[in-house]
Structure 1
Amino acid sequence: MTDSTAFVVTLSCPDRPGIVHAVAGALLESGCNIADSQQYGSPSTGNFFMRVEATTSSSQEELAATLRPVAESFGMTWQINPVGEKVRTIILCSKDAHCLNDLLFQQRSGTLPIDVPAIVSNHRDLEPLAEFYGIPFHHIPVTPETKPQAEAQLLKLIAEHDAELTVLARYMQVLSNDLCTELNGKAINIHHSFLPSFKGAKPYHQAHARGVKIIGATAHYVTADLDEGPIIEQEVIRVDHARTAAQFVQMGRDVEGRTLAQAVQWHAEHRVLLDGTRTVVFN
C-alpha cells in the first residue's frame, strides 16, 4: 500500500458558481481523500475563500499540477502545504519577555508548528532567554540614524534563514513603509490593546484614562499604517475603576501572550487568508 501524505490547500478568488465542484474534482483526480473542507464567500468584497485538508499518495508537485488549470481558470491565489510542516519563523523582541517566552515554550512543547532559527532584538535584555532555549540571538540596535541599516540586516537574516514568517513579540520599533511592504502578509504583531481603539504607545494608560471596563490584546498583520493591519485574533478581560494603570499592564500580559500564540498557530496552520483590510480565519 502506497503511503499517503496530508496536504492543506488554501485559495481565494472572485466568487462565482462552480469553484467547490472544480476544486473537489481536481482533488479526486489526484486520488485525494478530503478530511476537512471550509469555505466562505465575502458579501462585502465578492471574494471566495477555501481551505481543504486532504490525504493522497500523489506528491505535492503532482497535486499542484492537477490543481493548476483550475486555479488559472478561476484566477486563484493558492497554496499547497504539507499538514503539520513547521513554518520557519524569526521573532523580534525588545525588553518584555512574556510574549517571546510563550512562543518559545509552546514551540518547544510541540504545540506550535514553527521552527525558530533566530531571535532579533534592539536590546540585549532577552539574550539569556534565547540562550536558555538554544536559539541564536542577534542584537541589532536601532536609532533614527541607523534604522535603514538595521532593517537591511533584518532582511538579510530573513533571507539567510529562508524565514516564511516574522513575529513582533513586543518589538517596540515602528517598521518602515518599505519593510512593511516587503513583509506584507508575512509579519504578525501583537498590540497590547483592543484595536481599533487606543493605538500607538501606552494603550493601557490611554484605556485607564478613559475608564474602560474591558482591556485586551490584538494580533494583526503588519502594514505601513501603524496598528491598522488586518486583525487575526483578539481577546479581552474585564477590569474596573479600582485597578491602576500598572495593574492593567500586568493583567494584559497573559492576554497578549495567548493572543499572539493563537494568531501564529492559525497562520502556521494556513488557516488565515487576507481579504483586503480584513482576514478570513478558518478555525
Structure 2
Amino acid sequence: MKQLALKIDVDTYHGTLIGVPALVEVLQRFGAHATFLFSLGPDHTGRAIKRVFRPGFMKKVSRTSVVEHYGIKTLLYGTLLPGPDIGKHAGNIMRQVRDAGFEVGIHTYDHIAWQDYVAHKDADWTQKQMRLACESFEQVFGEPARTHGAAGWQMNRHAYRFEQARHYPYCSDTRGTHPFIPVYEGEIIACPQLPTTLPTLDELIGVGDLTTDNVAQHLLQLTEAEPAQGHVYTLHAELEGRKLLPVFEALLTGWQAQGYQLVSTLQLFESLDLSTLPYHKVLMGEIEGRSGTLALQGPAFLA
C-alpha cells in the first residue's frame, strides 16, 4: 500500500485560528488523514527579525512574501505587540481538530525560542521548554501528547532523551529518506524517527523557475516512484492553510491519482515492521532553500 503521511506544523496564533480550520475542511473533503502539530505557548513570531544576520535568511525571505502569508500583526508579536498564548486562546480549535478524527501532537512551546536557540542549549533549558509544551498540551486536550515534531527541525541531545523518557512511540524531528532509529553523537535513542522526506513549498517557490503555478507538478514528479516505506510531507498552517491552499489541493488530487493513501504519521508508523528499522546517525546540516542547519538523517550506524 502506497502511503504518504501529511504532517502539519502550526507555528502561529493566526495560523491556528485561520489556517487550521481551512485545512481540516479540505482534508475532510478529500477523505485524507493528517497529523497536526501545535505550537502551544506564546506567539513571538516578531522576534524572528534577529534572523536577518543568518546566512541565507534574507534570500529565503525574498522568495516568499512573509507579510502576505503571516500578516503584519503576527510579525509584531513579541516585539511591539504582546504575543498571545496560543494554547489558552485557541484551545477550542485544537480540540475540534482532535474531535474531527485527526492525530494531534506537540510542535513546540515557544516556536521562535526553540528554533533559534535549542541547538546550543543545555538540559535545563531544553527540558523546561518541553515540559511547558507537555503541560499546555494536557491543559488543552486533557491527556498527554504521544508525539513531537520539532520546530524548524531543530534538536539537541537533551530533546531526544526527553522524547525517549516520555515513551513516545515515534517522533518526526528530522529530514531524511525513510524511518529509522536515531543515533545522536554515538547515543542510541529508543524513539523511532519518521523524517520529512519531501521539500516544503517555502523551500521550492522562487527557486529556479518554480512558482505557485508549477510547484505542485514539481512535487508530484518527486513522488511518482513508489517509496519503500512511504513519504512524509510537512506543510504549514500559515502557508497551505491560507494563500497556498489551492496548491495543496492540487497536491492532494495528484497524490490520490498516483495511488497514495493519505495518512497521519501515526498511521504510517503503525504500518512499519519496527524490528527491521535501521539505525542512522543524526547530523546537523543544510538543505537547499532553507537557511541555517537542521537535523538530518545521516549515514547508517552499525549498533
TM-score for the superposition, normalised by structure 2: 0.30
More helix by share: 2
Max Rg structure: 1
Higher relative contact order (CA 8 A, sep 6+): 2
TM-score for the superposition, normalised by structure 1: 0.32
More strand by share: 1
